[in-house]
């Protein structure tokens, strides 16, 4: 009995599940005590945290660099929108389709790009991020520039009339993000997940140990794409529709920047990454209103703050604030 | 790891709690001394370069009104937020305007893909937020059931195409006609308008996704058309930067005199074309449709008044068609606020425009179409021709005003005479 306890895994998983439920419960309470604006911002935090998770999984754990996460998010967003708007499926099914279709797309892309690595893979995914939204304009079913609606509908009537659209968004995005991150954390701490790190740190040694490096990288790409796809579905839920311009190249760079700030090698900072992306424009706004300045100043300030944070993160916490916490403990 | 996970969760929760601002009581953005309005529009990026002057021009006009007593004793403030012409930002910025800035109404939002999403995301219909004088001609916004609080100011692109079709039929019979259009709801509205008018192009319209009309692509398209005999009419239904790219390609290929260029109102701002490097000799002769007077026409009392306001309240900004459009929308807004009376409510403002909007004074040379059932702003065009100075003069030397609708209605010549400008450009209506 004592020997079985030494394996730790069941206990760790249960504790982790408890922590996620506790965190979800805290969010639920918090959601009842804040205004619609904070709920809306919270929904974006959850959505971006999920997108950052996909980057951490791909880059930090499997050693592949993608500059095209926005394109994979777009694939998920369109898949979800078509499922709801055209096929008339339930929004939950629509969000599941966002993850599944983007995952399959990532699998195919991963197989095609299996021989690519480093800057070549980055270049390929960058090209994808540039071309995919433009391609979407070519198919009438995708609604061209205006795009198509992504409507999850009103909240269930039993929640009452005071249950706002923003609270409904917050519940959906927070729950989806919690479930997906829980799944990813468990995957990464499993035996299979540890092979990701082995491949990242030393592919030759990993191969000698019997790990199929190529297949593992493709699988990591597919899972990461699925996570990105779900975040894409959530993002267009928050803006009520999907269109090509909802996924600019700058989104990929912002997410990658946030992933670097919060640590590429750990999932502990992903919520912080989401908070950074949502909070920076707010901080810029309040700074400008305090010290005075034009709209143009407000516009350039977020980019300046992100750049400063990136430099500070690389210098002081190269592995992210999560690792810093661990070190102090 | 376990402690770190817990710590991470606590840090994140604490950060969220710290960022919380207690919800305030509902406010309409109106006090005894102020009215707060808002706009989400591109200030930066490629769209910002072209349209970025519009919100500043609106603010300048409001400042002028404020300096002259405001509206029923209330000063107007305008909160301007940059959405970079991106739907996600438009949704969040518009939501911020409603939930954070607590504006009374929106005015002058720009862009179809951006504003259609922002409208739903910010729950404008549910909150009955007036969405005034939006800068897009997409006919979908005329759907009152979907956009119950929206009022357009531009005529629809379909109307513009129908007027263009009539211009071609009346003035260029027998010439081959071609169209290069943006491949989205803007261009498709235009193509549909030509089809409704019964016009058939010599070849299917060339459609390009927004942002993809490169110099090489433009040269390829013009080279193919250069072999057509006669002087073909080339309809350009895109933004001004694309018109510039195509005209510069024509210069390079020495084809500027080969075509009669018929540019849509969105893509024919002379100042912008010149600023983007198009030669004045190339601009000379371009035919365009417009519903506003030319910004260089100093004989127009509205233009003259707005130039004076621009000089005093919008320092350093060159007066052009975009500044004119912004000030005109602001003047309409002031009249709408006055028409809604001293007890200003959102519902009252919407009703006032429905009841009295068609009679508002404005610089537009064509009638306004507001009514209880119509949210269309200007419902027609006049046809202009640019000269080498970039001035738009009536085509054929005589101002002819055409009115039509977005559907199957015919294009009619109108004898509309716009209302006289209020003294000093300060509305006194009620």
CATH number assigned to the domain comprising residue B316: 3.40.50.2300
Closest Cβ opposite residue A37 in set B15, B99, B209: B99
CA–CA separation, B277 and A21 (whole Å): 61
Please tell me if residue B140 touches chain A, with a CB cutoff of 8 Å.
yes
Domain shared by B43 and B186, yes or no: no
Q: Which of A27, A145, A299 sits opposite B113 (nearest CB)?
A: A145
pLDDT above 60 (res B26)? no
With a cut of 90, say whether residue A229 has pLDDT above it. Answer: yes
Per residue in B305-332, pLDDT (tens digit) is 999 999 999 998 999 889 999 999 999 9
Mean pLDDT, residues A159-165 taken together: 84
Give B139 to chain A, closest Cα distance, Å: 12
Question: pLDDT value at position A322?
Answer: 57
Residue A25 lies in a domain: yes
Distance in angstroms (rounded) separating the CA atoms of residues A210 and A219: 16
**B267 plus B387 within the same structural domain:** yes
Q: Classify residue B191: in a domain, yes or no.
A: yes
The C-alpha R_g of chain A, in whole angstroms, comes to 20
> What band does A293 get if pLDDT is binned at 50, 70 and 90?
low
Interchain CB distance below 8 Å, A36 and B99: yes
Q: Which domain holds residue B200?
A: 157-290+383-414
Residue of B nearest to A249 (CA): B86
Q: Which residues contact B176 (CB under 8 A, 6 or more apart)?
A: B202, B228, B229, B230, B232, B233
- Contact B257/A at CB under 8 A: no
B313 with B262, same domain: the answer is: no
pLDDT of residue A305: 79
SS3 A58: helix
d(CA B24, CA A274): 25
Report CB contact under 8 Å: A22, B9: yes
Q: Is the pLDDT of residue B364 over 50?
A: yes
Angle at CA A225, nearest 5°, toward A224 and A226? 90
Closest residue by Cα to residue B265 from B172, B335, B366? B366
Return the residue matching tokens 């143009």: A296
What pLDDT is stored for residue A273 in this prediction? 83
Largest CA distance in chain B: 81
Helix runs in chain A, H state only: 2-6, 9-33, 36-55, 69-81, 91-112, 118-136, 165-189, 191-201, 203-208, 213-238, 249-262, 270-291, 295-316, 321-328
Q: How many domains does chain A have?
A: 1
Residues B265 and B391 in one domain: yes
Does residue B295 sit at the A interface (CB-CB below 8 Å)?
no
**Chain A contact for B185 (CB, 8 A cutoff):** yes
Q: Are residues B38 and B151 in the same domain?
A: yes
Which is more confident, B263 or B28? B263
Q: How far is B89 from chain A (nearest CA, A)?
A: 9
Q: Looking at the domain assignment, is residue B6 inside a domain? A: no
Residues B62 and B41 both lie in one domain: yes
Range A210-219, long-range pairs (CB < 8 A, 24+ positions): A214/A114, A216/A62, A217/A62, A217/A64, A217/A110, A217/A114, A218/A107, A218/A110, A218/A111, A218/A114, A219/A107, A219/A110
Q: Closest Cα of chain A to B420: distance in Å? A: 35
Domain tally for chain B?
2
pLDDT exceeds 80 at position B210: no
pLDDT at B27: 53
Residue B2 domain flag? no
Q: pLDDT confidence of B16, banded at 50, 70, 90?
A: very low
Q: Do A272 and B116 touch (CB under 8 A)?
A: no
pLDDT attached to residue B366: 95
Best A129, A134, A140, A145 residue to mutate vs chain B (most B CBs within 10 Å): A145
pLDDT digits (tens, 9 = 90+) for A75-133: 999 999 999 988 889 989 999 999 999 999 999 988 877 676 677 777 787 888 777 77
How high is the pLDDT of residue A2? 44
Nearest to B350 by CA among B153, B128, B182: B128
DSSP assignment of B197-259, as one string? Answer: TT---SSPPEEE-TT---HHHHHHHHHHHHTSSS--EEEEES-HHHHHHHHHHHHHTT-TTTS
Closest by CA position to B204, among listed B220, B225, B218:
B225
At residue B300, does pLDDT exceed 90?
yes
User: Could you read off the pLDDT of B139-189 as tens digits, one per residue?
Assistant: 889 899 999 999 999 998 899 999 999 999 999 998 999 999 987 778 888
Distance from A44 to chain B by nearest Cα, in Å? 10
pLDDT for the residue numbered B135: 92
Q: Rounded to two decimals, what is the model's pTM?
A: 0.81
Half-sphere exposure of B238 (CA within 13 A, CB side): 28
Q: Using an 8 Å CB-CB cutoff, list chain B residues near A147.
A: 87, 113, 117
Q: Is the pLDDT at B46 greater than 80, yes or no?
A: no
DSSP state, B412?
E
**Closest residue of B to A243, CA-based?**
B113
Q: Is residue A242 part of a domain?
A: yes
Nearest CA-CA distance, residue B1 and chain A, Å: 7
Domain that holds residue A24: 19-249+262-268
Q: Does residue B209 sit at the A interface (CB-CB below 8 Å)?
A: yes
pLDDT tens digits, residue range B75-108?
999 999 988 888 888 999 999 999 999 999 999 9
Residue B368 included in any domain: yes
Closest by Cβ to B185, choosing from A145, A244, A296: A145
Query: What is the per-residue pLDDT for A320?
Result: 62
At residue B388, the pLDDT reads 92
> What's the CA gap between B1 and A325, in Å, rounded?
10
Domain annotation covers residue B348: yes
Residue A16: its pLDDT value, please?
A: 84
CB pairs under 8 A between A and B: 153
Instruction: Give the DSSP H/E element, type plus range, for residue B180.
Output: strand B177-182
Residue B107 lies in a domain: yes
Full 3-state SS string of A10-30: HHHHHHHHHHHHHHHHHHHHH
Please tell me whether residues B303 and B233 are part of one structural domain. Answer: no
Share of chain A above pLDDT 90, in %: 25
Name which residue leads in pLDDT, B385 or A3: B385
State the pLDDT at residue A109. 86
Residue A301: predicted pLDDT: 75
HEC readout, B80-107: EEECCCCHHHHHHHHHHHHHCCCCCEEE
- Are A34 and B9 within 8 A, CB to CB? no
Q: What token pair was written down for B145?
A: 């059931």
The partner residues of B261 in beta bridges, in order of sequence, read B234
Is the model's pLDDT at B373 over the cut of 60? Answer: yes
Higher per-residue confidence, A30 vs A292: A30
Put simply, the answer to whether B11 touches A243 (Cβ < 8 Å) is no
Q: Give the lowest-confidence range in A12-26, A145-159, B183-197, B279-293.
A: A145-159
């Amino acid at each position: 009995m004592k020997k079985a306890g030494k394996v730790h895994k069941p206990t760790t998983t249960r504790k982790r599940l408890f922590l996620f439920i506790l965190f979800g419960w805290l969010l639920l309470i918090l959601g009842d005590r804040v205004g619609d604006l904070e709920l809306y911002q919270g929904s974006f935090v959850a959505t971006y945290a999920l997108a950052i998770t996909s980057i951490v999984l791909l880059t930090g754990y499997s050693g592949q660099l993608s500059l095209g996460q926005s394109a994979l998010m777009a694939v998920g967003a369109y898949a979800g929108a078509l499922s709801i708007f055209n096929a008339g499926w339930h929004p939950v099914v629509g969000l599941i389709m966002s993850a599944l279709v983007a995952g399959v797309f990532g699998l195919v892309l991963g197989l095609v790009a299996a021989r690519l690595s480093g800057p070549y893979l980055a270049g390929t995914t960058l090209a994808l991020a540039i071309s995919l939204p433009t391609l979407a304009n070519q198919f009438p079913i995708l609604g061209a520039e205006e795009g198509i609606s992504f409507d999850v509908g009103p909240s269930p009537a039993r929640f009452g009339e005071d249950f706002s659209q923003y609270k409904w968004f917050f519940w959906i995005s927070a729950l989806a993000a919690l479930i997906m991150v829980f799944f990813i954390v468990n995957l990464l701490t499993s035996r299979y997940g540890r092979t990701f790190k082995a491949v990242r740190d030393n592919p030759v040694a990993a191969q000698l140990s019997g790990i199929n490096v190529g297949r593992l990288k493709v699988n990591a790409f597919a899972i990461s794409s699925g996570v990105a796809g779900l975040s894409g579905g959530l993002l267009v839920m928050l803006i009520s529709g999907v269109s090509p311009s909802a996924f600019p190249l700058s989104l990929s760079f912002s997410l990658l920047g946030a992933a670097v700030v919060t640590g590429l090698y750990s999932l502990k900072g992903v919520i912080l990454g989401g908070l950074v992306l949502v909070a920076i424009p707010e901080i810029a706004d309040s700074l400008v209103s305090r010290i005075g300045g034009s709209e143009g100043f407000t516009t350039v300030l977020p980019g300046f703050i992100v750049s400063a944070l990136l430099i500070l993160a690389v210098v002081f916490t190269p592995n992210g604030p999560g690792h810093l916490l661990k070190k102090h403990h | 790891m376990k402690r770190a996970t817990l710590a991470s969760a606590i840090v994140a929760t604490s950060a969220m709690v710290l960022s919380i601002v207690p919800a305030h009581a509902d406010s309409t953005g109106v006090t005894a001394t102020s009215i707060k309005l808002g706009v989400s529009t591109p200030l930066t990026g490629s769209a910002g370069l072209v349209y970025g002057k519009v919100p500043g021009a609106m603010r300048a006009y409001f400042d002028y009104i404020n300096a002259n007593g405001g509206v029923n004793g209330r000063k107007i403030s305008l909160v301007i937020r940059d959405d970079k012409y991106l739907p996600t930002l438009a949704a969040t910025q518009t939501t911020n305007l409603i939930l954070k800035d607590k504006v009374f109404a929106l005015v002058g939002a720009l862009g179809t893909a951006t504003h259609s999403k922002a409208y739903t995301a910010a729950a404008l219909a549910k909150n009955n937020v007036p969405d005034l004088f939006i800068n897009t001609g997409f006919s979908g916004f005329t759907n009152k059931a979907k956009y119950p609080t929206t009022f357009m100011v531009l005529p629809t692109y379909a109307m513009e195409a129908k007027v263009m079709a009539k211009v071609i039929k009346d003035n260029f019979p027998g010439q081959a006609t071609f169209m290069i259009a943006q491949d989205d709801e803007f261009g498709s509205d235009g193509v549909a308008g030509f089809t409704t008018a019964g016009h058939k192009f010599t070849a299917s319209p060339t459609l390009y996704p927004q942002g993809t009309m490169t110099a090489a692509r433009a040269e390829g398209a013009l080279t193919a058309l250069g072999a057509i005999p006669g002087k073909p009419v080339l309809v350009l239904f895109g933004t001004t930067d694309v018109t510039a790219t195509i005209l510069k390609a024509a210069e390079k290929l020495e084809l500027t005199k080969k075509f009669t260029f018929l540019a849509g109102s969105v893509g024919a701002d002379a100042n912008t074309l010149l600023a983007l490097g198009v030669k004045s000799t190339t601009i000379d002769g371009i035919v365009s449709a417009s519903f506003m007077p030319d910004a260089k026409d100093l004989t127009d009392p509205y233009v003259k008044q707005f130039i004076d306001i621009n000089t005093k309240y919008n320092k350093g900004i060159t007066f052009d068609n975009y500044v004119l459009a912004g000030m005109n929308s602001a003047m309409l807004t002031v009249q709408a606020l006055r028409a809604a009376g001293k007890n200003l409510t959102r519902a009252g403002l919407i009703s006032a425009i429905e009841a009295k909007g068609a009679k508002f004074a404005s610089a537009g040379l064509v009638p306004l179409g507001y009514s209880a059932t119509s949210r269309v702003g200007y419902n027609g065009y006049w046809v202009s021709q640019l000269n080498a100075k970039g001035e738009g003069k009536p085509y054929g030397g005589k101002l002819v005003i055409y009115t039509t609708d977005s559907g199957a209605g015919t294009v009619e010549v109108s004898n509309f005479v716009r209302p006289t400008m209020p003294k000093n450009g300060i509305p006194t209506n009620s």
